[in-house]
């Protein structure tokens, strides 16, 4: 058989395919992978670039519009998410490399499920009527909310860094959380990403020009952003008239290294550190002194000497003290119950009978899940047996400037769970106090990422949040999510041993009121589910 001399393969004058034309799929996949990883990382703390969260999903969404093959799309996106989340959670290697290499890809794959929905929906939006496209867009944003919601409870829950947390330093968009919870903020951010992706596709792929370049998806996203601004602007001016002093609060950061924290031989040195820093804090004449999580080397509720130590220190300081410590409770023979607790200590009455027990324990840190199956594994916290969770919000009562304040404690990473802060607010708390110990995770991004969640809890409940870490992040967040003060040393670092006293205020309008979100909880998840159903139905059956 003689080949046709006019064939492009044999014709020396035939146009040659460009690299992009020959390997376009692979080039697109590589570009999406790189940009998806980079944008996901820089959108969240410790990077101060929350604006990138408005474009974080755009590379994958724009690519989905072009209808790539499912296999290459899924492998690219899921790999990018696995890499991005392993890097975002990189601080976990200080505790366990195995945990990091399992958890990072797992969370990445879970978040990556959204892109698979986008792969199915977005190509089908091209050329459809405006109502169909907008419903599909709302449905995709609803799917994102559902995925984030499942992260709060699936396999015990790990809702670390919802998309809303990227905006912890941008209070303008956060105010919607008073009504919808942080899920509403994530919804608006996803809509913004989809709006940008739709606009880019209209410009560069559909060949639109002039008036036809308009993207209704983009304008819907812009409308939602402006609605968030409209919620913020009046409060930015009005709240000043309702601001009143709450207390002078001294934050104590003892910076106890993890390798000595539970060493009995180092207990005396730890107590000396607590004594010296607390006396220094008392010299600033505060109304309240706050210590971090599980700070005492022995249990306040079990060891009489430890109890006497904190009571004497409170008397010497002359002000109430809120602290985190272990509680060991005897419940018959041979049972001995260990709890991670928060306690209030007053100069006159000592350690109050009422205390708080941590409600959401850390797997493999405070207990071994599925112990009958995984009993051969050990906790990485080398004290006691499995801890027992508390079952109520159990607020603490503290007198501040002659008025009793109801304090809702949250211990360790409990502030990443919206339901716990909400339960504390429903239980009467008008002030949230987070006691934590990020000393496990070094001086990387963990402290900043963790603090971002406290900002969301403040807006959702309209409660001031005091946050005290073993060596950072410590500070005060107001009811509107503004970080009013961060505890730092002379170098500006949050990682140090010492103390700082801050004047804390509150908005008097919220002293006895609860927010819509506090009253009705995750109602927006139901709305998101309905939008997802309507959106997919519109794509499937709409004209």
Give 84-93 pLDDT, tens digit per residue. Answer: 999 999 998 8
Average pLDDT over residues 262-287: 93
Q: What is the pLDDT of residues 45-78, one digit of tens each?
A: 999 999 999 999 999 999 999 999 999 999 999 9
Q: Which residues touch 250 (CB under 8 Å, ≥6 apart)? A: 281, 282, 284, 286, 288, 289, 290, 499, 500, 501, 502
- Mapping DSSP to helix (H, G, I), strand (E, B) and coil, where does residue 250 land? strand
Q: What is the pLDDT of residues 379-390, one digit of tens each?
A: 455 555 678 899
CA 109/CA 107 separation, integer angstroms = 5
Q: What is the pLDDT of residues 219-270, one digit of tens each?
A: 999 999 999 999 888 877 788 889 999 999 999 999 998 778 778 888 999 9
Cα atoms found within 13 Å of the Cα of residue 437, Cβ hemisphere only: 20
Residue 98's pLDDT is 84
Asked whether the beta carbons of 449 and 420 are under 8 A apart, the reply is no
pLDDT band for position 535 (cuts 50, 70, 90): very high
Helix (H) or strand (E) holding 253: strand 243-253
Residue 37's pLDDT is 98
DSSP string, 34-48: HHHHHHHHHHSTTSS
Q: What percent of the chain has pLDDT over 90?
A: 74
Residue written as token pair 């944008």: 39
Residue 237's pLDDT is 79
Count of other CB atoms within 10 angstroms of residue 304: 9
Average pLDDT over residues 322-344: 85
Q: Is residue 211 scored above 70 in pLDDT?
A: no
Average pLDDT over residues 144-154: 96
Count the helices and strands in the chain (H runs, E runs): 17, 12
């Amino acid at each position: 058989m003689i080949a046709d001399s006019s064939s492009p393969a044999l014709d020396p004058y035939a146009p040659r395919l460009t690299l992009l034309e020959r390997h376009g799929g692979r080039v697109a996949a590589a570009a999406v992978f790189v940009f998806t990883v980079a944008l996901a990382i820089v959108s969240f703390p410790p990077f101060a670039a929350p604006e990138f969260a408005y474009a974080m999903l755009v590379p994958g969404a724009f690519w989905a519009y072009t209808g790539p093959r499912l296999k290459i799309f899924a492998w690219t996106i899921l790999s990018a998410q696995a890499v991005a989340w392993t890097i975002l959670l990189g601080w976990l290697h200080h505790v366990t490399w195995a945990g990091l290499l399992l958890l990072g890809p797992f969370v990445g794959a879970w978040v990556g499920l959204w892109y698979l929905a986008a792969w199915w929906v977005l190509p089908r939006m091209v050329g459809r009527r405006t109502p169909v496209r907008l419903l599909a867009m709302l449905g995709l944003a609803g799917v994102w909310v559902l995925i984030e919601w499942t992260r709060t409870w699936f396999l015990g829950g790990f809702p670390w860094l919802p998309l809303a947390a990227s905006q912890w330093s941008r209070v303008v968009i956060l105010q919607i959380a008073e009504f919808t919870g942080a899920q509403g903020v994530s919804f608006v951010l996803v809509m913004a990403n989809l709006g940008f992706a739709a606009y880019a596709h209209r410009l560069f792929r559909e060949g639109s020009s002039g008036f036809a370049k308009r993207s209704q998806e983009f304008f819907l996203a812009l409308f939602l952003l402006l609605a968030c601004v409209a919620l913020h602007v009046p409060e930015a001016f009005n709240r000043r008239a309702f601001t009143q002093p709450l207390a002078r609060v001294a934050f104590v950061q003892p910076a106890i290294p993890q390798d000595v924290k539970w060493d009995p031989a180092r207990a005396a040195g730890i107590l000396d550190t607590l004594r010296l820093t607390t006396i220094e804090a008392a010299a600033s004449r505060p109304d309240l002194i706050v210590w971090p999580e599980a700070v005492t080397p022995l249990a306040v509720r079990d060891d009489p000497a430890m109890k006497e130590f904190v009571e004497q220190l409170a008397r010497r300081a002359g002000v109430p003290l809120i602290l985190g410590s272990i509680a060991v409770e005897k419940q018959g023979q041979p049972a001995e119950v260990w709890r991670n607790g928060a306690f209030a200590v007053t100069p006159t009455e000592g350690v109050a009978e009422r205390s708080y027990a941590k409600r959401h324990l850390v797997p493999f840190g405070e207990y071994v899940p599925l112990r009958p199956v995984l009993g051969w594994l050990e906790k990485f916290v080398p004290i006691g047996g499995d801890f027992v969770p508390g079952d109520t919000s159990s607020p603490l009562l503290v007198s501040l400037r002659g008025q009793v304040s109801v304090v809702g404690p949250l211990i360790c990473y409990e502030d990443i769970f919206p339901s716990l802060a909400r339960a504390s607010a429903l239980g009467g708390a008008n002030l949230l106090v987070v006691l934590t110990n990020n000393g496990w995770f070094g001086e990387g991004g963990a402290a900043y990422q963790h603090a971002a969640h406290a900002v969301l809890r403040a807006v959702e409940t309209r409660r001031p949040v005091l946050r005290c870490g073993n060596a950072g992040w410590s500070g005060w967040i107001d009811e509107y999510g503004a970080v009013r003060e961060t505890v730092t040393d002379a170098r500006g670092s949050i990682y140090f041993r010492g103390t700082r006293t801050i004047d804390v205020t509150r908005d008097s309008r919220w002293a006895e009121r609860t927010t819509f979100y506090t009253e009705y909880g995750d109602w927006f998840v139901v709305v998101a589910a309905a939008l997802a159903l309507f959106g997919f139905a519109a794509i499937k059956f709409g004209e």
